Amino acid sequence: MNGQGGTGTRAAPARKRPGRGARFRGRTLEELEAIHAALARAFGESPAPVMDLMAAQERDPYKILVGTILSARTKDATTAAAIGRLFPEAPTLEALGRLPEARIAELVFPVGFYRAKAHHLAQLPGAVAERFGGAIPKTVEELATLPGVGRKTANLVSALAFGLPAICVDTHVHRINNRLGIVRTATPLETEMALRRCLPERLWIPWNSIFVSFGQTRCKPVGPRCEGCPVRAFCLEPGGKQKGTAK
Ligand code: SF4
């Protein structure tokens, strides 16, 4: 096997592909710190994801929640434009509740799944009033009960709007943390749970921003730009050949 087996009495054990097959050992705290430091330096050269920019400008939980819902499966520029049209007409949760669903859809078009998102946004004020007395809830578990809010969105809102320790795992975070041997998981939820166990809490919030920027600009699902990659020394799959994890 692997051109080394020959005709000896016992074949050498097949050499497993690094990362997926090799014994997984995770990363030490020092390695995690080094990865964070290297990407944080590079992150400064990349545009921040739109929700980070928005959170930096204003910590309005309503706007961060709505913006995060709109940003799913949508390019940052498209999200930013949709927010720019929606918030003048719906600057508060109460104002959003007065907008007809069709008008919300017009304003947020062409974000991905704009009809479904408009439907969820139209239901949002009633759900928040009924379950949380009109105040946007803070915890991931509470947020995840709202229409159109999955665990990824809930984590992002909890972190950006309320500064609570939360790890938002999207496809970028999931893919790259597997490539770097930090976790070995099959789904974003598994990655979130594994990161909660291995990462110091102070790194939870920045982890998302850094990896999203990195994933959007360099470590893409297909054809990552590995030359000059700041964390290449840690990478188990240069070239992005790993197929066992989700994108
Ligand atoms: Fe991603 Fe390539 Fe860097 Fe590995 S070496 S982390 S695949 S950009």
Angle, helix 50-57 to helix 61-71, in steps of 10 degrees: 170
Sign of torsion, CA 34 44 246 117?
A: positive
* pLDDT, tens only, 116-169: 999 999 999 999 999 999 999 999 999 999 999 999 899 989 988 998 988 989
Residue 101 CA to residue 117 CA, distance in Å, equals: 10
9 pLDDT more than 70: no
* pLDDT, tens only, 31-42: 999 999 999 888
Residue 23 CA to residue 26 CA, distance in Å, equals: 9
Residue 171 CA to residue 183 CA, distance in Å, equals: 14
Which has more confidence, 59 or 55?
Answer: 59
At 57, is the pLDDT very low, low, confident or very high (cuts 50, 70, 90)? low
Is the CB of 169 inside a 6 Å radius of any atom of ligand 1?
Answer: no
Q: Which atom number of ligand 1 is nearest to the Cα of residue 225?
A: 8
pLDDT of residue 55: 72
Nearest residue CA, atom 1 of ligand 1? 219
pLDDT of residue 160: 86
Distance (angstroms) between ligand 1 centre and the Cα of 228 equals 9
48 pLDDT more than 80: no
245 pLDDT more than 50: no
Task: Report the candidate in 13, 23, 3, 44 with the shortest Cα–Cα distance to residue 184.
Answer: 23
The percentage of the chain sitting over the pLDDT mark of 70, rounded to a whole number, equals 85
pLDDT of residue 73: 87
Is the CB of 121 inside a 6 Å radius of any atom of ligand 1?
Answer: no
195 pLDDT more than 90: yes
- Average pLDDT of the chain to the nearest whole number: 86
213 pLDDT more than 70: yes
pLDDT of residue 221: 94
Is the CB of 198 inside a 6 Å radius of any atom of ligand 1?
Answer: no
Contact between 230 and 243 (Cβ < 8 Å) = no
Best residue among 43, 231, 247 to mutate for probing ligand 1's pocket (most ligand atoms within 8 Å of CB) is: 231
Question: What global pTM score does this model have?
Answer: 0.72
Which has more confidence, 70 or 213?
Answer: 70
Q: Which atom number of ligand 1 is nearest to the Cα of residue 235?
A: 4
